[in-house]
């Protein structure tokens, strides 16, 4: 399996090279040169448990780590999850909830980042290299990434997050980690600012090379690769192809579902749920991808106006026409908007935006009717599912992205008597925390890296 950039400037990379590169030097995102077709394997895969299916699917994308080692890394990654089959299920009348939050940091990001940390550790050990990871988080990626690499001698991790705009418990999951290789950086701005700073620094190829920078955000292909598995696994549980309703911010989670369908897993359609930051809902309705003001909501991981993985979707939507893609992305970068000729012909993808009021109502109604608690991000997906289900003749699965205990204030605002706690989070309160607060400038981020990075060739 070889990898290339969505913008055409990089090709013929091995998986390991793609893993370490993260963001391509031409500013694009790395994707497989060809997607595997799994249709002939579905019958034999239907009876597999989650870990066994993960080993089978991921091996299709990784041919430069020997299979026994790869299988071992995958098994070790998912042994850290509380649920015996990694992901959980809850039936709420005519909507099923796929619980992806049973990992160490109680977020769906753990599914990919527990594996990514082990892949990094193995590859860097083999190559005797050091990596300085730079990531940006709107909440969950930071804690999950830190949990995946904390304490590793050959990695330092620098996580940018918007000061005051992640939940208090999400911040504690990052800032209370005492390992010396963990560096938490609070940026005075929005998540989009954090993501923009990260991308600008990666675009400085001299600095990236000097400080051996790598990525853990979903710009890293391995993140998306690992997330394909749970959509494939879920699709094989049903007699009829299900539809997935996915709460979406950076488009990585729903893009993994898109790839699963493209590979041949039985998926009816994908329903994209956004909050008031509705850039994606507007695109699927009109064909215009236009940046707006960031709205800070009860679902902070979705408070995003620039969805980085959207470029990967466009690459396939444009039939891998890198010139057309570059023109579209240049227009968006320079003007803040870019357009198709009309609404996209994305037949199996639909999108809608959900308000804060609808989110709170979803949490309240589900708790009252089913004695089940949704976190505010999952509630966005559930509220959207109620809109979509009138027109969907397929089993409907809402993707649960985080444990409600991570957002107790939002849960209590919706349903005062709903339980919203977890022992792992309760234990963080009162622990010593450390972070460095900086202005939203490239120079400030680089200064932190220069002061704390190890293993670079300066």
Confidence (pTM): 0.93
CA 405, 407, 409: angle at the middle one, nearest 5? 110
3-state helix, strand, coil in the chain (%, to 5): 45, 15, 40
Residue of 109, 364, 389, 406 with catalytic role: 109
Phi, psi of 37 (to 5 degrees): -100, 120
pLDDT in tens, the chain (458 residues): 999 999 999 999 999 999 999 889 999 999 999 999 999 999 999 999 999 999 999 999 999 999 999 999 999 999 999 999 999 999 999 999 999 999 999 999 999 999 999 999 999 999 999 999 999 998 888 999 999 999 999 999 999 999 999 989 999 999 999 999 999 999 999 989 999 999 999 999 999 999 999 988 888 999 999 999 999 999 999 999 999 999 998 899 999 999 999 999 999 999 999 999 999 999 999 999 999 888 989 998 898 888 889 999 999 999 999 999 999 999 999 999 999 988 998 879 999 999 999 999 999 999 999 999 999 999 999 999 999 988 899 999 999 999 999 999 999 999 999 999 999 999 999 999 999 999 999 999 999 999 998 754 44
* Domain range annotation of the chain: 88-107+221-423, 130-217+428-458
Max CA separation in the chain (angstroms): 60
- CATH 3.40.50.1100 assigned to 130-217+428-458: yes
- Please give the Cα distance from 449 to 458 (Å, whole number): 12
Out of 3.30.450.20, 3.40.50.2020, 3.40.50.1100, 3.90.45.10, select the CATH number for domain 88-107+221-423: 3.40.50.1100
Is 320 considered catalytic here?
Answer: no
């Amino acid at each position: 399996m070889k990898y290339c950039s969505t913008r055409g400037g990089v090709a013929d990379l091995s998986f390991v090279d793609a893993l370490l590169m993260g963001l391509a030097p031409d500013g694009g995102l790395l994707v497989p040169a060809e997607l595997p077709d799994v249709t002939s394997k579905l019958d034999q895969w239907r009876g597999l448990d989650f870990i066994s299916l993960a080993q089978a699917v991921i091996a299709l994308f990784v041919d430069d780590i020997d299979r026994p080692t790869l299988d071992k890394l995958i098994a070790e990654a998912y042994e850290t999850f509380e649920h015996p089959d990694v992901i959980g299920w809850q039936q709420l009348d005519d909507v099923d909830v796929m619980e992806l939050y049973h990992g160490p940091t109680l977020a769906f990001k753990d599914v990919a980042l527990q594996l990514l940390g082990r892949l990094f550790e193995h590859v860097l050990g083999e190559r005797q290299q050091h990596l300085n990871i730079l990531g940006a988080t709107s909440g969950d990626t930071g804690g999950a990434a830190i949990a995946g690499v904390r304490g590793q001698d050959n990695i330092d991790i620098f996580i940018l997050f918007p000061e005051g705009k992640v939940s208090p418990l999400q911040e504690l999951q990052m800032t209370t980690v005492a390992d010396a290789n963990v560096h938490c950086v609070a940026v005075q701005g929005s998540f989009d600012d954090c993501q923009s700073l990260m991308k600008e620094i990666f675009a400085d190829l001299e600095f990236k090379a000097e400080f051996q920078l790598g990525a853990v955000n979903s710009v890293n292909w391995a993140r998306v690769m690992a997330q394909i598995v749970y959509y494939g696994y879920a699709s094989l549980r049903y007699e009829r192809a299900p539809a997935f309703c996915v709460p979406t911010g950076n488009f990585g989670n729903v893009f993994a579902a898109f790839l699963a369908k493209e590979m041949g897993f039985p998926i009816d359609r994908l329903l994209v749920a956004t909050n008031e930051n509705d850039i994606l809902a507007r695109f699927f309705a009109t064909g215009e991808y236009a940046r707006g003001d960031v709205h800070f909501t009860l679902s902070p991981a979705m408070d995003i106006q620039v969805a980085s993985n959207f470029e990967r979707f466009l690459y396939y939507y444009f039939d891998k026409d890198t010139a057309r893609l570059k023109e579209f992305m240049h227009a968006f970068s320079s003007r803040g908007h870019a357009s198709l000729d009309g609404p996209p012909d994305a037949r199996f993808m639909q999108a809608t935006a959900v308000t804060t009021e609808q989110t709170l109502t979803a949490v309240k109604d589900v708790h009252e009717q089913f004695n089940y608690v949704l976190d505010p991000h999952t509630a966005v997906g559930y509220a959207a599912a109620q809109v979509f289900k009138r027109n969907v003749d397929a089993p409907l699965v809402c993707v649960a992205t985080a444990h409600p205990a991570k957002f107790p204030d939002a849960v209590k605002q919706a349903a005062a008597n709903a339980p919203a706690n977890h022992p792992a989070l309760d234990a963080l309160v009162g622990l010593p925390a450390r972070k460095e607060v900086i202005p939203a400038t490239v120079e400030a981020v680089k200064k932190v890296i220069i002061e704390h990075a190890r293993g670079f060739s300066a």
